[in-house]
Amino acid sequence: VLGCICIYSSHRHSLSHEQMQLVITFANEAAIAIENARLYEETRRGLELKSILLRELHHRVKNNLATVGGILSLQRRRTKSPEVRHTLAESVNRVQGLAATHDLLAHEDVSEAKVEDIARKIVGVANANLRPPEKHITFEVEPCPIVIPSRAVTILALVLNEMVSNAIKHGMVGLKEGTVTIRGHEKDGMVIVQVIDTGTKLKQLEPGEEESSEGLGLSLIKNLIGDLGGRYALWRDGSVGRTVAEVRFPLARNRSQVPGGHGAVQGLPTPE
């Protein structure tokens, strides 16, 4: 029983059949409205609780990743091998990039984030960890309001980290200054993110080198973006003197259209 309806009159009389049906109809409509309001309130409270739990989860993951990053940083400072120090520096950057992304998700009401916000987090971490002190590199993140879900957020953060890292390490070789631009947009249902640098060199891996530490970043990019049903490309735009690294993946992924998580993407520019 949700409630009752009382009908008062200034004088005695019995309700006619039509009047009684009208009262019953009104009571039924009122009961439906009350039940819908109750269900809405329960759903709202459930969503709020879920949002709180998700934010707390992302916060704890961020703290755990920060701890791992701190341990790796300590190990990097203690090692004497330049090669090991370099490898640990890259690992620290990857871990801190993920921690920054989970920090971003921890402050959102839902588990999603803008591509622009992800890019700014990654640029901040890469600039602090990977930019050589003798180089002046300007980072530009163009506005991109596209919102992607949490799984894509984590993968894009890792991929962007590797692309920005490659732009710093390989694109800026032999230069004292340069610019790295991150640009994102949507086209034909695809999210397209580009990392563009003004360097003069395009890193090309020799056969078998992709399995080395130098090729680990490239392998990560291809495998991770493949999990989103996307593709990666790298080419030199000679007309403007810039190197472009690009990833694209479906904005709304359809598993039936992406067998095994790897789908072909039409219209991808051919590297020159």
Q: Where residue 186 sits, what CATH number does that domain have? A: 3.30.565.10
Indicate if the pLDDT at residue 238 is higher than 60: yes
Q: For residue 156, which of 113, 125, 92, 197 has the smallest C-alpha distance?
A: 113
**Structurally, how many domains does the chain consist of?**
2
pLDDT of residue 109: 54
φ and ψ of 113, to 5 deg: -155, 160
Q: Going by C-beta distance under 8 Å and a sequence separation of 6 or more, which residues neighbour residue 142? A: 116, 181, 182, 183, 184
Report residue 250's pLDDT band, with 50, 70 and 90 as the boundaries: very high
74 and 190 inside one domain: no
Question: Which residue is listed with tokens 């019995």?
Answer: 14
Query: Does the structure show a pLDDT above 50 at 256?
Result: no
Q: How far apart are the C-alpha atoms of 220 and 227, rounded to whole Å?
A: 11
Assess whether 91 and 121 both reside in one domain. Answer: no
Instruction: Please say if the pLDDT value at position 268 is more than 80.
Output: no
User: Is this structure's pTM higher than 0.85?
Assistant: no
Regarding whether 159 and 78 lie in a shared domain, the answer is no
Confidence of residue 206 (pLDDT cuts 50, 70, 90): very low
Host domain of residue 222: 114-267
How confident is the model at residue 110, as a pLDDT?
59
Residues 171 and 92 occupy one common structural domain = no
* Averaged pLDDT for residues 253-267: 39
Residue pair 177/135 in contact by the 8 Å Cβ criterion: yes
Q: Which residue has the tokens 């039924």?
A: 28
180 and 75, same structural domain? no
